[in-house]
Amino acid sequence: MSDKAVITCAITGVLTDPGQHHVPVTPEQLAAEARRAMDAGAAVVHVHFRDQRPGKGHLPSWDPVVAKACVDAMRAACPGLIVNQTTGVVGPGVQGPLDCLRATRPEMAACNAGSLNYLKVRGNGQWAWPPMLFDNPPAKVQAFLDVMAETGTLPEFECFDVGIVRCVEMYLRTGMYTGPLEINFVMGVASGMPADPDLLPILLKLKPEKAHWQTTLIGRQEIWPTHRRTAELGGHLRSGLEDTFYLPGGEKVTSNAPLIEQLARCAREAGREVASPAEARALLQLA
C-alpha cells in the first residue's frame, strides 16, 4: 500500500453539457479549473477536448490544434501538472485520438482495455440512449499502446468490468505491453461494475500484482463509501465533473475543487497523505 494517494481530477467529461453544468470548455476555462483542482490536491487532470465553436461545447473534438491549445494552457497555469488524456472512441476510427496524443505528448492517457455493452435504462423502462457497444478489441488497444510508447505516455488501463481486468494480465503475457502499470477500475456504469466497496477485494486479487490502481466512481452521493474504501485499501483516487456532481451529503457542486477536497479528506482519514505532482510522477514512474 502506498502512503501517498495520487488524486486525479476528471475535469470535464465527454458529453457533459456546459449549458447545464459548470464544465470547462475553452483552453482558458480548462486552465482556471485545473488550477482550482490542483490547489485542492489534484496531481493529475484527466481531460476530454470539446468543440470550440460557439454553442457546440457539448460536443467532443479530436482536433489536435484544439488539444494542444487546451493542454498548453493547463500546463502554463499549473506547473508540474500531470496531464491524463482521453482516447475513447466508438468504432475503428482512431486517427483523431492518435493525432491528439502526438500533438500533446501527455504524461498519461486512458487505454480502454476491453469492450462493454454501454447501456442504461430509465425508470420508465425506456433506454436512456440507443444501446451501443463501446468496442475495444485487442488490435485497437495495441494501436493506442504503440503510439503511447512513441510519445512517452503511461497507459492507464480502463477496466469497466471484471473480465476486462483479467484481459490486462493477458496483454502482459503476450508482450503487448511491458512498461509500468496503472489500472483504473471504472465502477458505476449501469452495464458495468457497480460502485460497490465489497467488489474491491476481488478486483485487487485479479489485477496484476505490481500494478498501481485507482477507482473511477460514476454516480451520485452513493459513490463516496467506495472512495473511502479505495483510500483505505491503498488505491489512488479520482473524481470530477465527468464522474459526479454530488458530495457525500448530496450537495451539488459547481466546480471540480470541492470534489477534489473531499477526496483529499478521504485519503487523510485513511491515514494517507496526498501526493504532490512531483511525488506522483515518481510513484507512477512517469517518463
132: phi then psi, degrees, rounded to nearest 5:
-140, 155
Three cell numbers, residue 113: 482495455
Q: How far apart are CA 60 and CA 44, in angstroms?
A: 21
Residues in the chain: 287
Of 244, 207, 133, nearest in space to 199 by CA: 207
As a whole number of angstroms, the distance between CA 86 and CA 237 comes to 17
**Cell, residue 192:** 458495468
Question: Which residue, chain included where needed, has cell 425508470?
Answer: 123
Give the pLDDT confidence of 152-179 residue by residue, as tens digits.
Answer: 999 999 999 999 999 999 999 999 999 9
Residues 6+ apart with CB under 8 A from 58: 15, 16, 17, 18, 19, 50, 51
3-state SS, one letter per residue, for 82-101: EEEECCCCCCCCCHHHHHHH
The C-alpha angle 159, 90, 56, rounded to 5 degrees, equals: 110
**pLDDT score for 16:** 86
**Which residues of the chain fall short of a pLDDT of 50?**
none
pTM: 0.96
Determine the Cα angle at 283 with ends 188 and 259, to 5°: 40
Q: How far is CA 209 from CA 85, 182, 213, 254, in A?
A: 25, 11, 10, 38
Q: Which three cell numbers stand for residue 251?
A: 450537495
Q: Is 210 exposed, middle or buried (0-12, 13-18, 19+ CB in 10 A)?
A: exposed
Structure confidence at residue 14 (pLDDT): 87
pLDDT of residue 287: 77
CATH number of 4-284: 3.20.20.70
Which residues does 279 contact at the CB level (< 8 Å), separation at least 6? 4, 6, 43
pLDDT in tens, 234-263: 999 999 999 999 999 999 999 999 999 999
What is the distance between the alpha carbons of residues 102 and 104, in angstroms, rounded to a whole number? Answer: 6
